[in-house]
Structure 1
Amino acid sequence: MKILIRGAGDLATGIAARLYRCGHEILMTETEEPMTVRRTVAFSRAVYEGRAQVEDIEAVLAGNMAEARQILSEGNISVLVDARAAVREAFRPDVLIDAIIAKKNLGTAITDAPLVIGTGPGFTAGVDCHCVIETKRGHTLGRLIWEGTAIPNTGVPGNVGGYTIERLLRAAGDGRIRPTVSIGSRVEKGQITAYTGGVPVYAAMSGIVRGMLQEGAMVKKGMKIGDIDARCELSHCYTISDKALAVGGAALEAVELYGRMKGKYGLVILAAGRGLRFGGDKLSCLVHDKPVYQYMLDKAAAFSGVEKLIVTGNERIMEAARQMGVTPVENREPEQGISWSLKLGLRAMLEKRPGVEGVLFCVCDQPGLQAATIQKIWNRAAVRRGRIICAGHEGRPGNPVLWPRAFFPELMALEGDVGGRAVMARHPDRIDIVESRETELRDIDRKEDMEEVWERRWGI
């Protein structure tokens, strides 16, 4: 797959190395002046050296997209100076990984690629990315988070060789850095290791210099400029760290999981109900200044790599769907019941994607449903092939429901106002439930349900 990595520091390099060694195509973006302390194990070094080798992998600086493509075709990793990762429009990656490690999101959106991965604090899975990788050292390092956030930044570096704050070298003044020691050098506590803006920087501990910013980099007082390792293993200065490999392993897990889903599933939104119990067009009612139908369209937008359809007879919904890349399937006979909408959606999906392995059916009146829940259904389907996967709460199944291909004939045989629950009732042993919050599963049937929305009991 084509993978775009924002950032080319040491953690980003660990990610790139693991993915590259599994045969993926890697394009990395960086700033004009990278501030990578562990630069001997970072592809960001290519920005000012032209190329950078880390272990057995080489990254080469490209001046433009055409050069980047040539570098990729030669089997190397390509690095572009592009702080905003604007190249994603031309590169059109399968996966975008934000590995800037800025402790905040600097512009990555969940719609930037079919799979978007955030690393460390500053990202929320299901909101601005599909999953987050935990980067804090400890028991949870390298875990994939499919809903929620990583551990917040504490400001205290991780423990390496029994030291935390002491192992960092920080600028003593504003200005250019002039190191007095090299990466790999042994230093003693109290020794001058660099000058920043002409002010000396002293080592707070003895050990080996594992990282140091390049000479001439512009720094500000208090900024991290170097790293001392008490373990004094020279090889650690020139090989990818355990932390970077753990983070890279998590990225590889997410990418491989996506590879099992890519192009194999479709999404159908059902929005053709007559609203008899509601007494009117419930889907056009406003919830927090947004029509009900827009909530599901917004969630669908998070899955750019999935074929998406919406079954409806509402012209306004059709137009809104088209603008968001969702194909309308017209239903002018809603009186035929939910089975008719199911069959229209399934038939249209099979026409567009004949080999589809499964279809996720969502209803359009669940404004509290989260994109993270949809993602977890995709994930479960990727490893539990042939199962009916649905959202649910405390063992009770609900919507959405992902139907594997084996059940398509039974869905097509439904008649009247009978939905997929009739098929599920015949196959209770084939159902997997993805646990969700109760508020996510609530749908709008009556006007009283809208009152609950305004009372903010829906989690939106």
Structure 2
Amino acid sequence: MPEAHKLTAPLGGVPLVRRAVEAALASTARPVVVVTGHEADGVRAALGGLDVVFAHNPDFAAGLSTSLRAGILALPEQVDRAVVMLGDMPAIEGALVDRLAGAIDTERLIAVPVAQGKRGNPVAWSRRLFPALTALAGDVGARAIIAANAGLVAEVACEDEAIFLDVDTRDELEALALHELAEHADVDADAALEAMRAEDA
């Protein structure tokens, strides 16, 4: 979204990042740590009034791993597990966060959501793997750590595709907004979107 900062772009009148953070707050997990980077002031403003802890990542341009590190290092010592969420996934619910966190035990150090045989996000981590997370470098997530610890992974079954739904473009944001409107109005969102595009053409 070169024309806007996507995390503060509205979806149903609510900034994208606020929807993700409100889902985290709907869970029992505490504290909720929000890592800021690009346009940090705008993200903070979008989350005004919410009970969160901010951790700014000045090295955000160096890649995803730096934000993951900033978030993990901001956690209090008594936290024994963490659920890593993405700010551009607006359909995640607090109940899933709790289910993922609850799947962590002495033998399962990673919990991933699964729908239709595919793994998605967010992912829960035991503190025992925090050092591995903070050791990551560059523009990479933690997939390699999951792959290297296959025997320690708990798969949490999900019935919907919210675990795959992230927003990267204006078209994706508009399509999601239409689908949400359609759910409440009982209309075909795909047909509505095609009609809008035909009018624009």
TM-score (norm 1): 0.36
1:442 is aligned to 2:168: no
Structure 1 CA distance for aligned equivalents of residues 163 and 145 of structure 2: 23
The aligned counterpart of 1:428 is 150
1:300 is aligned to 2:12: no
Cα drift, residue 457 of structure 1: 6.4
1:315 is aligned to 2:41: yes
Cα drift, residue 408 of structure 1: 1.4
**8 A contact 2:17–2:46 mirrored in 1:** no
Cα drift, residue 304 of structure 1: 5.4
CA 1:392–1:354: 2 relative to 1, 3 Å: same
Aligned partner of 2:133: which letter?
L
Of the three residues 5, 11, 14, the one matched with 1:290 is 14
1:405 is aligned to 2:131: no
Question: Which residues in structure 2 correspond to 1:319-334 (within 5 Å)?
Answer: 319-321=45-47, 323-334=49-60
Aligned partner of 2:102: which letter?
N
Per-residue deviation, residues 389-421 of structure 1 (Å, max 9, x unmatched): 022212322111111122112111111001111
Structure whose residues are more often strand by fraction = 1
Percent identity for Structure 1 against Structure 2:
26
The aligned counterpart of 2:66 is 340
Equivalent position SS for 2:42: helix
Cα drift, residue 303 of structure 1: 3.4
Cα drift, residue 440 of structure 1: 4.1
Equivalent position SS for 1:455: helix
Question: Which residues in structure 2 correspond to 1:21-420 (within 5 Å)?
Answer: 278-279=1-2, 280-303=4-27, 306-313=30-37, 314-321=40-47, 323-349=49-75, 353-381=76-104, 383=105, 385-420=107-142
Cα drift, residue 321 of structure 1: 3.8
Aligned partner of 1:432: which letter?
A
The aligned counterpart of 2:191 is none
List structure 1 segments (4+ residues) > 3 angstroms apart after TM superposition.
319-322, 383-386, 457-460
**8 A contact 2:66–2:137 mirrored in 1:** yes
Structure whose residues are more often helix by fraction = 2
Aligned partner of 1:281: which letter?
H
Per-residue deviation, residues 284-331 of structure 1 (Å, max 9, x unmatched): 111111110111121122235611110013213224446211011112
CA 1:406–1:386: 2 relative to 1, 3 Å: farther
Equivalent position SS for 2:85: strand
CA 1:304–1:375: 2 relative to 1, 3 Å: closer
Structure 2 CA distance for aligned equivalents of residues 447 and 391 of structure 1: 26
Structure 2 CA distance for aligned equivalents of residues 371 and 320 of structure 1: 19
CA 1:322–1:447: 2 relative to 1, 3 Å: closer
Residue segments in structure 2 that go unaligned for 5+ positions in a row = 185-201
Equivalent position SS for 2:122: strand
Structure 1 CA distance for aligned equivalents of residues 79 and 178 of structure 2: 40
Structure 2 CA distance for aligned equivalents of residues 390 and 310 of structure 1: 20
Aligned partner of 2:50: which letter?
M
Equivalent position SS for 1:452: helix
CA 1:289–1:412: 2 relative to 1, 3 Å: same
The aligned counterpart of 2:187 is none
Per-residue deviation, residues 248-288 of structure 1 (Å, max 9, x unmatched): xxxxxxxxxxxxxxxxxxxxxxxxxxxxxx32411111111
Equivalent position SS for 1:417: coil
Task: Give the number of aligned pairs.
Answer: 179
Residue segments in structure 1 that go unaligned for 5+ positions in a row = 1-277
Cα drift, residue 455 of structure 1: 2.6
**8 A contact 2:33–2:52 mirrored in 1:** yes
**8 A contact 2:26–2:95 mirrored in 1:** no
The aligned counterpart of 2:179 is 456
Aligned partner of 1:392: which letter?
V
Aligned partner of 2:168: which letter?
D
**8 A contact 1:386–1:405 mirrored in 2:** no
